[in-house]
Structure 1
Amino acid sequence: MSANDLKAASRVQVLDLLRLVAVVGVIFYHYGFRGPPSQGTTQIALPWMASFSQYGFLGVPIFFVISGFVIAYSAEGRTATGFAIARFSRIYPTFLFCMTLTFLALLTMGPPNFTTSFAQWCANLFIAAPMFRQPYMDGAYWSLVVEVVFYAWVAVLMAFKVFPRRLDLIILIWLGLTFANELTIDAPIFERLFLADDSGFFAVGLAIYEFYRGRRDFKLYSIFALSVGTAVFQCLHRATHIDSPAGVSFESGVIVAICLISIAIIFLATRLRQLPLPAGLVMAIGGITYPLYLLHMQLGYVVLSAIQPASVIWAVAAIIAGVLLLSWIVWRFVERPAQRWTKTVLTAEAERRGLPVSTSQVAQPTDVARSLA
């Protein structure tokens, strides 16, 4: 068995394909429903696609559902320190590279429709740039902030030995806080801190993880149903906050259908662990989705605005193809080596400080200690 086969055996391969489907939906949304701003207004790049690409925004909630499952799955066998190192190594090096690449594109090709500054680049080093009164280098980064906050909560709960052992309680408290905020103060700071606008999606993923582990009981079915209902509500709620071009509206039935079908597909995907495809191909598909998400929007908008093509459809197709190729290059030659190096360095530093990164390194109580407990 090759190295790729060994890696693939430890992952749910279908989720790699679903990640790509989700990011393609987001790309359709950004080019077929939204588009590069011009003179303070949004210009739809491919308006003939608006009627169906407007629902591409649901690709982000699909990411969150997958993330809920994957994070619970990846926490197995790790301590809070090991989990934090794994997440940082996975997310930050690629983000730094793609953000800087976008910054350079904005700097050299952006004006007059796009501008940037060194201060904006510095603020984006912390991902949550608005905290420093600077805009995101790419508007798509908002969802990355949501992911990071989710990771932070998971790490904290792992440190207190609560995650993933008490997932039922975590989900119930989380959803309870969500609706308490929604029905009372509806405070933005509360929404950001507790992810009250996205909790249902992550909760669905966490519940699917419990099913994946083989659990079957009425309590889990009830929590899953509650999580799905919350996710559907949040999808509908999100649609009401989208700035739509004049005359464009969202069909609630379509949103509900896409949400439910997507959740069902993700659930079924966790039952089908392997695909009759080369392991390396599946890994590459999963690997390019992150840089593709980071690069497709602002970088593509800058290029599209700079070239002012006579045929927008061919220009958009060429831009997307170029970003796909660039994403593969980033994954193959930047993300993978940077992730390995970062993880190795941080793991060595953690071990030097006596911080275990895996549960197997945690000292087990002796028989005497057990008798005294």
Structure 2
Amino acid sequence: MAGIKQLLSVCLLLLSIIAGFCAFRTAPVSGTPMRQFTIRPNEHLGEFLPKTIIHVAHPGDTRTVRCESTVDNAWVNLDFRLEETTTGRSIPFNANVSYYHGNIGTEAWESGSRVTTQFLEIPEPGEYCVFVKGTTGQGNDPEPMVAQSGMDIDVFIYNGPQQTRAWLLILAGSLVIGTSILLWTLAHRRPQSSRREEQRLNENPTAALATPQHRDDVLPVPTWPAPAPPSRLAMLDGMRGAAALAVVCCHFFVPELSSLATTLNSIFPDPIPTLAQHGDLGVEVFFVLSGFVIAFSIGNRRMSGRYVANFALRRSIRLDPPYLATLALSMLLWAAYLPGGLTECYQQSLGWRGVLANSFYLQNIFGFPSSVGVAWTLCLEIQFYLAYIGLFSLAQFVSGALGSGGQDDRRDFSTSQTALLATFLPLSIASVIWWNCSLADFSFFGTWHRFFVGVMCYWAFSQRITSVGFFVFAVALAALAIHSHDLRGGTAATTAILIYVAGRTGHLSTALSASWLQYLGRISYSLYLVHLLVGVSLVNMLYRSDQSKPMALCLLVIGLVASIAGAELMYRLFELPSVRLSRKMKCRTTETIASPVSF
């Protein structure tokens, strides 16, 4: 059965590669243009000139118009008009080409592009005559100029991306199903030793009876007890679920994202809209929980090359498949929605560099647009993991240099409180100061202290640092947040203090243990990833400005249900197999003396 699933996944992945190649080949600007002509700005400027005729067979067909010019520190603007030959129906649009470059000292700069592409959706079928006129100018001069030698503009008209969209749907379906089957197969594959043992018993059924532990009247007893599974911290899962739900509700109340927001804000009395719009504070809860959980999972293990590589691999397996699946679906659906299809999507992503930056969580560093709206927090998460590993390695080195690392015992890698605070506190204090200067810097440096307060919470639990040290930092962060009216810093400090108090009073395994909160906590990562793509997008498609208030409430419920359903599907197909596969690849190491923690 496993072999059939592997074969099926390979076939689907091959189909996705073929579909992707066909989608690229059928993209509008990849083939031969249906019409091509040249405009000379020094001839007939200001007049509409009939140039060519295009035929549109179906309503809503798309045509791609690409303009190229050799402008140099100049601009060209073309005004187009499509006129239906029988009815006189007119469709106007324009295209602008501009390119500038120069030097500032020894540094070269450039802006603009010598190529522009427009995508035109034609509502009615028919035979259309193309008219075009243009103006041009040098530098920033707004006055049109006629005398511009070498300013020819080549115009290409391509068919629409209907075939591309069909291939994109095949690509999306085969990629999603094939990858999920492959992940499921890898996650449920048994170890080779287990398969050999089963094969040996099948070939020789009496082999099991030959073991010394066997007696006729007593079942074989294992020589060592099976390790008990670690208990889940129900409060953390509940907080994660509540934070995810708050973020989802927030985005339905934001006018820039949801067409339903204005109506919802008028339906509900205050303070409900205000509270909903502040649901994005759930992100700060995620930051604190990430700091706590990563510090807990790493414990006090030695930062050897083997462990760091294994940690990075497991984190990648845990996070990447659901994120990359969401990224692929976002871009494919985006391409299917845009008039220009894959070509326009590729252009708006700023080319292959933008696609790669989004794939490796680097878009916020290099300034590329994010294809997944919530991915900016994932970028910060990855940067936090790397920074924590680096600083913790440095703390272990400093601890050893101070003589507190127990270097005589090769299995003793304890990290002193002095080394931890000396390594981590400077960055954390600088982050607090940097954030409070603007209260709007969502870079890694501006948000580090919200991760770190969760780290200190765990360190206080494990007695790596004193509880006084944790409370001093958390209370100082809360006091500064109150003084600066900083809701984000206050939310982070409050979350960390609640976790610590719940743990010390024995409620970390029982608080927020309601089944619906635990369920939301389990699918929170998938819910966070897909709710904009599924729930908010669905509401935007169904919403009409003349709809009644009860219908608006129904749409809100539909959006929430669709978000949770999409998250459940993403969890089953990608996240759950990724979690299981990540656990199977855990590095077996004894290079730790982490203090036992009682929650």
2:570 aligned with 1:333 = no
Tell me, yes or no, if the aligned pair for 2:391 and 2:423 is still in contact at 8 Å: no
Aligned to 1:50: 273
| Structure with bigger gyration radius | 2
Aligned to 2:461: 212
Unaligned runs of 5+ in 1: 238-251, 348-356, 363-373
Corresponding letter in the other structure for 1:23: A
**Percent identity between the two aligned chains:** 24
Structure 1 residues 1-373: aligned runs within 5 Å: 7=229, 9-36=230-257, 44=262, 46-47=264-265, 48=268, 49-76=272-299, 79-109=307-337, 116-117=345-346, 119=351, 121-131=355-365, 133-160=367-394, 162=396, 165=415, 166-179=419-432, 181=434, 192=443, 195-214=444-463, 217=466, 220-230=467-477, 233=480, 252=485, 261-270=494-503, 271-275=506-510, 284-309=519-544, 310=547, 311-341=551-581, 357-360=587-590
CA distance in 2, matches of 1:221, 1:147: 27
CA distance in 2, matches of 1:236, 1:27: 29
Tell me, yes or no, if the aligned pair for 1:85 and 1:343 is still in contact at 8 Å: no
Cα 1:198–1:262 shift into 2, 3 Å? same
Cα 1:300–1:325 shift into 2, 3 Å? closer
Q: Kindly indicate which of the two structures has a greater share of residues assigned to strand.
A: 2
Cα 1:233–1:95 shift into 2, 3 Å? farther
Kindly state the Cα deviation for residue 67 of structure 1 after the two structures are TM-superposed. Answer: 1.0
Tell me, yes or no, if the aligned pair for 1:81 and 1:155 is still in contact at 8 Å: no
State the TM-score, normalizing by the size of structure 2: 0.46
Corresponding letter in the other structure for 2:552: V
Tell me, yes or no, if the aligned pair for 2:318 and 2:579 is still in contact at 8 Å: yes
Corresponding letter in the other structure for 1:328: E
Kindly state the Cα deviation for residue 137 of structure 1 after the two structures are TM-superposed. Answer: 1.4
Larger mean CA deviation between 263-272 and 325-334 belongs to 263-272
Q: Residue 127 of structure 1: SS of its match in structure 2? A: coil
Cα 1:179–1:20 shift into 2, 3 Å? closer
Q: Kindly indicate which of the two structures has a greater share of residues assigned to helix.
A: 1
CA distance in 2, matches of 1:156, 1:254: 29
CA distance in 1, matches of 2:242, 2:436: 34
Q: Residue 16 of structure 1: SS of its match in structure 2? A: helix
Structure 1 runs, 4 residues or longer, greater than 6 Å off: 183-188, 234-237, 253-257, 276-283
Corresponding letter in the other structure for 1:202: F
Kindly state the Cα deviation for residue 19 of structure 1 after the two structures are TM-superposed. Answer: 0.2
Kindly state the Cα deviation for residue 64 of structure 1 after the two structures are TM-superposed. Answer: 0.7
CA distance in 2, matches of 1:50, 1:56: 10
CA distance in 1, matches of 2:374, 2:558: 21
Instruction: Supply the RMSD in Å over aligned alpha carbons.
Output: 4.0
Cα 1:34–1:225 shift into 2, 3 Å? farther
Corresponding letter in the other structure for 2:264: L
